[in-house]
Amino acid sequence: MPPMLVVKNLKKYFPVKGGLLNRKVGNVHAVDDISFTVFKGETLGVVGESGCGKSTLARLLMYLMQPDSGEVAFGGRAVGAKDGLPLRDLRRNLQMVFQDSYSSLNPRLPVEASVAYGPRVHGTSAAKARETARGLLGKVGLRPELFGPRYPHELSGGQKQRVNIARALALAPKMLILDEAVSALDKSVEAQVLNLLRQLKREFDLTYLFISHDLNVVQYISDRVMVMYLGQVVEMGPVDQIYNGPKHPYTAALLKSRLAMDPDDKIVTPPLTGDPPNPINPAPGCRFRSRCQFAEAICEAKAPALGAWANRASHVAACHMADPQSGHTRAGTSAHDALAEEAAR
């Protein structure tokens, strides 16, 4: 199938000012030259540490903030370009569910009115919009006659997030961006919402971009995974390949940081030490080298390229070890195999 969303060389820098004259002293490289593709009908999980640019990326894709450069194409049409896809059409087909379920809802509007608001803005009659809202509340597991007249403060966290999902579906979009949509929920409610998302994906033929810190949740719901570090994509590929054989040392460290269900399975040494480098004018070369146990001179001299991907089965990483021609002493070795060799010594 053709790609649903294509992102090419997307950048967003935030200026930092200081000094007596409040002049610009640098830029925070929040999203730095990111390119990826989301295929129709799949769920692409996005993971990474706090501050790596995940939420900024989501807002750039929705054009809630303007990118500095780069191109976003939805359904084969460039967004905002001459004869391209207008923002109104983009937002009709691409909707977002935010992390904070309470602040996402207008406290002065009842639930039914919040869900019906989007269709009304796009020209649907009041009666038709209310009918759509009631139907969607039922789809997300909330009885419309009971929950429709209620206000957000009368709902639990899980119920508010279900309302947000219904509101995102009110315009019959083709794709949803879910930014930490279940991170504020307790585990039992989180499981219910995740199963609801999978059911809605099948029923409405949706495509998801799922952002989360929880690697277990991402593994459960995703078809492919994109790993971000300091504003850049460091690895991308099918979920099973990344979780069973990560190519990038950062991905391997993230996976080792997961909590185990077995109380005897304890982490003795931290899989990752140190802090990320300063995102304001970062040093050249690989941005992970200051925390990587396999870093060599080539990592400081040259930034690794992510590599090209052809389809959903492509597994690529921005690491000199993953490139057989890089000159690294472990060139052609994945991080998973390199760590296994170290453990065997």
Could you read off the pLDDT of 19-29 as tens digits, one per residue? 878 888 888 99
Mean pLDDT of the chain: 90
47 pLDDT above the threshold of 90: yes
Q: What is the pLDDT of residue 181?
A: 86
User: d(Cα 162, Cα 107) in Å, to the nearest integer?
Assistant: 16
Q: Which two tokens stand for residue 149?
A: 């007249």
Specify whether the CB–CB gap between 227 and 235 falls below 8 A: yes
Q: Is residue 126 in some structural domain? A: no
Helix axes 249-256, 335-344, angle to 10 degrees: 70
Structural domains of the chain, count: 1
Domain that holds residue 254: 248-345
Structure tokens at 21: 């004259």
pLDDT reported for residue 183:
82
Q: Which residues contact 24 (CB under 8 A, 6 or more apart)?
A: 15, 16, 17
Within-domain flag for 138: no
Neighbouring C-alpha atoms within 13 Å toward the C-beta of 94: 25
Assigned domain for 268 exists: yes
Other CB atoms within 10 Å distance of the CB of residue 83: 6
- Integer Cα distance of 207 and 215 in angstroms: 19
Asked if the model's pLDDT at residue 124 lies above 80, the reply is yes
What pLDDT, in 10s, does the model give residues 208-232? Answer: 999 998 899 999 999 999 999 999 9
- Asked whether residue 294 is domain-assigned, the answer is yes
- Asked if residue 298 has pLDDT above 90, the reply is yes
pLDDT(1) > 70:
no
3-class secondary structure, 48: coil
- What average pLDDT does this structure show over 81-93? 87
**Paired strand residues for 255:** none
